[in-house]
Amino acid sequence: MRPVIGGDLVAVTEARHWFGGRRGGDTESLLHFWLHFSGTPPLMAHGSGEALRLRFAEPYAAYDTGEDGETRVGPAQRPDLLALLPGHRLLNAALIRGDTTPPAGVLLRFDHCDLVVASLADEWVLRQGQVPSELRVGGWLGDHE
């Protein structure tokens, strides 16, 4: 996470589940996402149970899941929350912890908003502003604040 603090976010790529030509809501259909910052490989976010895993990795290709639908991979689209991030600078980040050892999420401080990204009970939490009450925010990872 530290290598992208202070970086400009140029794009967000999402992997979403589609079924019958439709997808669920913002967090319901989201499988993975990648934050593309200037000068670094994409940062992939993967939620699993009560843990958020971040790693530098390229987006994977779309794929068909037969009777279960398909996974489409492409740019974040409005009105989804992640589509509001490109063009902004990441000022800082803080790990969010729940009841498990690995971090449950991260609080991203951009130049225009704070974004909570977490995985709780195998469900994405994506929201601006406040961290859910069952979670705790650690110290900032950047050099300031």
* Series of mean pLDDT values for 10-residue runs along the chain (145 residues): 96 96 90 97 94 96 95 95 97 91 92 95 91 90 73
What pLDDT score does 25 carry? 87
pTM passes above 0.85: yes
What pLDDT score does 54 carry? 96
Domains and CATH numbers, the chain: 2-140 (2.30.310)
The residue with tokens 């974004």 is: 115
Backbone angles phi, psi at 6, to 5 degrees: 90, -5
What pLDDT score does 145 carry? 52
